[in-house]
Structure 1
Amino acid sequence: MTKVFRRTYSYAFLIPAAVIYLLIFILPTVMSFFFSLTRWNLTDWEFIGMDNFRMFFQEASLMIGFKNTLIYAAVTCVLKVIFGLLLGVFLTSKIRTKGYLRSVVFFPTLLSTIAVGITFSMMMHPSQGLINTALAAIGISGPDWLGDTRIALLSVALVDVWKGVGFATVIYIAGIMSIPQDYYEAIQIDGGGAFRKFWNIILPLSRPATNSVIILAFIGGLRSFDLVWAMTKGGPGFTTDLIASIIYKQYQGGYYGLATAGNVILFIVVTALALPLYTYLNRREVDL
């Protein structure tokens, strides 16, 4: 009886967290799946089956949005891994100001995404922006960063990398600092230089950090909305439209059921891409 009471008593402490998780995550998810099958507004709803999903896939901009989302997620993920790793290595080396530099690198992560988007959209103005003004001062004619259909999506992605690389760097710093010093001493005895230290020790042994950064950055890229909307609203044309911005435009038009179906599709897409990637990375980590 005492053992049963102790077991029940310990589980009782999980009830508040379970209730909060149920109300904030599970219940809205179930309701989203239900309302994706309806035509609804704030006061009434009508069950229409799979019509919302058929209508959503008939959207002319949907395939562009899917392609842009995959490109955006891949570019931001790769660049955050590369720059996060390089900054992590630099900020764990023997430099006197590494504490200050760590705070500088992490600072953009703390800023509001909307504020960052508005600020950079002003800085990237083709004629009055700070970036092109600085380039003109050294004789270079800067492009229309957000108005040129060839580079608009990449311009937004680079801003995303600037804002998010600090978080990736912190993960890499933690991973690199957890590597035992014995490995460094062994390669130093063998006469290995800085490159061998990076290639043979830091790169393979920081793979758990790399896996975490890849998963977080890739999922974040697939779900990205606020930065794109603040900078371009999906323009010019559909050049920077992502799945999330297409869904938001449906909400703006009052097509709530259609937009809810889009959210369900986005949830399925993120799960279908992230889960196999997570499984593959974990398997590689174990094999290592």
Structure 2
Amino acid sequence: MNKKKIYSLWFLVPAVAIFVIFFIIPMVTSLFFSLTVWDLKSFTFCGFDNYKTFFSERSLSISVRNTLIYAFLTSGLKVIIAFFIALFLTSKIKTKDFLRSLVFFPNLVSAVAIGIIFKALMHPSKGLFNTLLATIGISGPNWLGDTSLALFSVIAVDVWKGVSISTVIFIAGITSIDSSYYEAASIDGATRWQTIRNIVMPLVRSSTNTIITLSLIGGLRCFDLIWAMTKGGPGFATDVLASVVYKQYAAGFFGLSTAGNVIMFVVIAIIAFPLQKFLNSREVYN
């Protein structure tokens, strides 16, 4: 190897060092401690007992199901809703600049603050939502206290918050489409829907892919909004992997919670990497 190649390789050293220190070493350490019963001073090797416990106890295993439901629903809804909002905000309306600012506002507020606000709004007797429903003679549900409804209530709030950044990404994608495509569609007599389906949707696929990937990974890792609104309750109805990990750490079950972290990492990796490869293969370049 000549001196020029050796010299160029030295530029990789900082990046590799950061990657090893902040990713490889913590990952290997977490994998090891997930196979032990440990506290802050000592550990005892227990093999895969932590993983067996995690999947055998309903209170823990249900979090995997909730995490998948939460991630896929929030991701899908953000894509659909944000796309149509972006279409509206890129049309010829006079107040679109103001409306864009209004749509982006939820992204400026922290998830914890939004969780606290919506927890109050969804209160079964004093909340604004049920108060408004009562004025038209409808008895509102217990949004966060009903085990069959609580998870979907949190999902709705997550979508409300996350659709803002998704809309901005779509707006950037739509405005970058060359006007010649629209001119050609107009000459061919294409309807508005045909233009959207055959021009806009294929040419913003890179934006769609970005939103799907970011929102899906965010949904799989979500903790702050859920914890602020329900703390995983009622019962285990809104527990996700991140909230279970936190609860086990707080209770002193460090090995079990570390196993939960490893499971969360594996779930994200299994879903995210093949999905990213699939989405990239379907991109259409403008």
Fold-level similarity (TM above 0.5): yes
Seq. identity, %: 57
Q: Which runs of 5+ in 1 are unaligned?
A: none
Deviation of the 1:17 alpha carbon: 4.1
| Aligned residue type for 1:225 | F
Q: How far apart are the structure 1 equivalents of 2:17 and 2:135?
A: 59
Q: How far apart are the structure 2 equivalents of 1:31 and 1:203?
A: 44
| Aligned residue type for 2:90 | T
Q: How far apart are the structure 1 equivalents of 2:8 and 2:98?
A: 43
Q: Give the total of aligned pairs.
A: 286
| Aligned residue type for 1:53 | Y
| Aligned residue type for 2:83 | L
Return the match for 2:219 from 221, 224, 233.
221
SS of equivalent to 1:61:
helix
SS of equivalent to 1:94:
coil
Q: How far apart are the structure 2 equivalents of 1:208 and 1:171?
A: 10
Return the match for 2:252 from 240, 243, 254.
254
Structure 2 CA distance for partners of 1:15 and 1:90, relative to 1, 3 Å: farther
For the 8 Å contact 2:205–2:284, the answer to whether it is kept is no
Deviation of the 1:83 alpha carbon: 0.9
State the match for 1:50 in structure 2: 48
Across the aligned residues of Structure 1 and Structure 2, the Cα RMSD in angstroms comes to 2.2
Deviation of the 1:188 alpha carbon: 1.3
**Residue 147 (structure 2) pairs with residue 149 (structure 1):** yes
State the match for 2:205 in structure 1: 207
| Aligned residue type for 2:205 | R
Return the match for 1:187 from 185, 188, 199.
185
Deviation of the 1:154 alpha carbon: 0.6
Structure 2 CA distance for partners of 1:103 and 1:16, relative to 1, 3 Å: farther
**TM-score scaled by structure 1?**
0.91
State the match for 2:75 in structure 1: 77
Of 15-24 and 246-255, more deviation after overlay is shown by: 15-24
Of 181-190 and 99-108, more deviation after overlay is shown by: 99-108
**TM-score scaled by structure 2?**
0.92
Q: Which runs of 5+ in 2 are unaligned?
A: none
For the 8 Å contact 2:33–2:255, the answer to whether it is kept is yes
Return the match for 1:159 from 154, 157, 161.
157
SS of equivalent to 2:37:
strand
Return the match for 2:240 from 228, 239, 242.
242
